[in-house]
Every structure is written in C-alpha cells, then in structure tokens.
Amino acid sequence: MPGILQSVLSVPQHTETAEPTVSLSSDLLSQCASSTFAGNLTLTGADFTSVTADPVFNFSDTAPEYLNFGHPNTSVFNATFCNVTVTYTHPGQGDFLTINAYLPISNPSWNGRFQAVGGGGWVAGMFSLSYAEMVGALSDGYATITTDAGVATDMSVESWALLSEGNVNLYGLQNLGSVSLRDEAIIGKNLIASFYGEGPKYSYWSGCSQGGRQGMMLAQRYPDLYDGIAANAPAVNWAKLFASIFWPQLVIDQYLNGTEPAACEINELTSKAIQDCDKLDGIVDGLISEPDLCLSTFHPDKYVGTSFNCSTTGKMTTISQEAVILANATWHGPRHPDGSLLWYGLFIGSPLAHPDLSDLRNILGGQWLRLFVKKNSTFDMRTFTVEDMERSMHRGAAEFDCIVGTNYPDLREFKELGGKILAYHGLADPIIPSKNSEHYFNSVTDLMGNVDDFYRMFEVPGLAHCYGGNGGQPTTLFAALVDWVENGTVPETIPISFQDPSGAINNRILCPYPLKAVWDGVGDTTEESSFYCA
C-alpha cells in the first residue's frame, strides 16, 4: 500500500444493471477519431487548441479499494475504450488546461452514465490517483474524465503559485479552485454526446481530499452539473485547514528548538491513548470511537518517563516531555496566543508519526503560508510564529475563500435540483481533521435545517486519510450514492468491516453524522445486527 504522501500526490462495487441507452457496434470504434469531437466542442470563454482521440485495445488493470475511495477492489480485462485528450485556454488569462477522458466501447460497454474523478494535495487530477479511479469507473462502464486544471500534476506548486515575488497566480488558483471543474463537466458531457449520440443519463463525481473539496465546490458553485457527489474527507475551509496542517511544525520550530521527538515516542503515546480510550464506547476493538471524550479524559503527561522498546532502534527509551508537547499541540489544534482555538486539531489515534507527515506539513501547510499568504518564495518558515499563524489564517481566508475556500453553506439550489451528496471521513485522519468536515456540515445544517434528505456524512473510527488505518474502508459508499440518486434508496447506514487486534473480523455499521453506531450491549460485537444508530 502506498504511503500517505503518494496517495495525496499520486478500484467490484455492485454491478450496474442499467442497460446501455445506445446500440454499441463496431461503428462506435470508427467514431474514436479527433474529427468526431473537434467540430462539436463548445465552451463559453474558452478556445480549444487541440483534440486527440485514439482507441485503446485489450486494456487490463486493477483499481484497489485504497486508491478508489468509496469503491471496492475492481478490475477491467481486455477492455476497448476511446482515449480522448482535449487542451484549451481561457483567452486573456495565459493559462493552458488539459483534460483526459475514457469512453467505453466494449468489455464493458457504456452504462449510460458519466463519472468524473478528483485529485489530491495541490493536484487537480491527471496523476496516478486519478487514473486509478478512472480504471474503477471504466470497469463499471462509466464514461470518465480528469483534468489538470492547468497546473502541475506532480505537487510542484512552486512552479506556478507565484507569477513573481508578491504576485499570486490568481488564474491558476482559480482554475484549481473551481473553473476547471465547470469546464471538465461541460466538456465531458459534450464528448459523450458526440461519441454516443446522446448525453449521460446520470452524472457523478467521486473524490477524496482535494477530490472531496472539488466535489463540494461543484455542489456549492455549479449545482446543475452532477446528480450525485461523493466528496470524502474534503479539504474545505481551505485557508484555515492548510494553515493548521503546518501547526505541528511551528510547535517543533518555536517550542522544541527545531528538534522533532523520535517517531517511536509519538507512536507509543498514540498506543497509550488507544489503550486508555478504546473502551470508552463499551467495546475493546483497537479503535477510538469516542475521540471527543478521549481528548477530554486522556492525560498524556502521566506517561512522561515511561520506558518502552523503540522499534526503529531496537533499544529501550522513554517518552519525553517534548513528545507530549507535540502530541498535545497536534490534538488540541492551532491556538491564539491567549490559548483560544484558531482551528481544529487531529483526533487522538491518528498516526502522527507517519514518515510522510513531516513532509506534508511543509508541502501543504508551509507552501500555502509561504507562497500564497506571505507571497514570498524565500520566506523562512522556521521563523513563523504563533502570532503569524493567527494573522495568516485571517488573511488567507479573507483573500482566498472566494477562490478556493469551498465553505459556502448554501446548498439549496443543489438540493432543489435533486442532487445528493455522500461523504465519509476517518476519525484517525492525520492530515484533514474530521472536525473540518463536521464544521462544514454543521454550517449547512444551521442554514438549511435538516439536510439528511440530500446530504449525509459518515465518520469512520480508525480510518486514516481517505484509506488505511485499523478501522476498515467504506467500499460501498459510491454504490449507495447511485442507489440514492437513481432509486431513491436512502442510505440509512453504510457497512464496514475490519480486523481487530485479536484477529477477529468485525462487521459493523456506519451511521450518518451526528448519529453514531451504538452497541446494543448484548449482541456479538463482531456482528452488524448488534449495532444501531443513536
């Protein structure tokens, strides 16, 4: 399984039973030519610069569940599809965007549906993660698409963030934030209509992290483009979220003299927290299912000086006060100099010492603060202070929320058009706090009242960022979204399975936030029937 960083940078759900809405014959293969699409592309505000289309034969690949979020493992064998690439620009903006679409021909044939997929980190799409998701979509017969938003597809935000020192590339950020998403949907439906002779019967979005944020932006700003949106662990509330990702690094630089405590110390503290808080839900299963209660009752200071065997060195060591300071700061979140909360911390139980996380603090958090807020590519983030954090959260939100913030709570038009949103977020996410999703969900609820008839979010104990961790992967969420959109079947629960420390397979349910899965107190805790939502 790839690491967190690769996932951020870088697939059966139930088989769709809808019959293809067009007759697929050998004639379709001859339609896979640039001339089929070139004369039919229209997009207000865009000039198309190239269209290429080539058939792909005997294509086989697998999309594993941990890269195709909300779907189970799925594979495609000896498929034939039309691979279409479109490039275009918005005149006067100096940009250059590319989209890539797979249009099924056979093995499988087109199911009459459209599925766009998201990106991760600073990447809008057209990278390894997006292509894994497209393999999953193709395997179920979807016409599928991805976009690069006109920015880098390898996390190198340094290459495009600033036009010059002090001047942010606002068109690039705007394309990443929203405009490319509108373009992608319109162009994708245009390609489908040109190729199959009719547009899609249903249109879906699927993504996690940046991909989740993209999905929520579509619901907020372009509510007529998709019928169903799977927006998992979404990076909404962008300015505050990205600044908060840097918070642990600030604590290291400003309070720990630039020295990060050993990873095995942090891991041992996390293990102690799971040991102490596991039973808070009445079940010992290796998971923290009551993270808020754990935060208020777990006191890591009592473990300072505790000896343990460090797995990385093979030697006995002790938990230091510095490790407790870093863990506490990460769990409790960025703070104003007076101690008040600036934004949310990670839940206890998240893998804080994952080897990728120190990189992510600077790649996601540090780059946002240095390039977009400070607008200074050479700013030394080691000098960044608590006062800087407070000001940067405020200034970043004030300047960029309208471009990339994705925290607009008014989803009334999306609801009125019949759209549905399903999302999951791991309670052990070490990058985007689950509280980030709760904050947005609550803001929508505060404005609109009960939103369960079109928007449901499921929190997953033990799940890390989009995938991984000890709590299992919700592999049927996208199928539930399709069933909700097309058949009106409300997803009251989502099934989840995981292996606990004893080796037993636990079959549980996830409940829509703010409800939680509660054990009935008598049934077998490994069986789904022993749990209810409350």
Q: What would the two tokens of residue 314 be?
A: 């093979």
β-pair partners for 458: 424, 512
Angle, CA of 275, 277 and 278, to the nearest 5°: 70
CA distance 517 to 359: 35
| Nearest-10 Cα torsion for 481, 482, 483, 485 | 80
Catalytic center residues: 209, 429, 465
Residue 450 CB neighbour total at 10 angstroms: 7
Decide the pairing of beta strands 228-232 and 202-208: parallel
Contacts 24+ apart (CB under 8 A), 271-276: 272/300, 272/303, 272/306, 273/298, 273/300, 273/348, 273/349, 274/349
Contacts 24+ apart (CB under 8 A), 27-34: 28/105, 28/195, 28/196, 29/55, 29/80, 29/105, 31/82, 31/195, 32/82, 32/103, 32/105, 32/195
Query: Ramachandran region of residue 26, left (φ > 0), alpha (ψ -120 to 50) or beta?
Result: alpha
Distance from the first to the final alpha carbon of the chain:
34
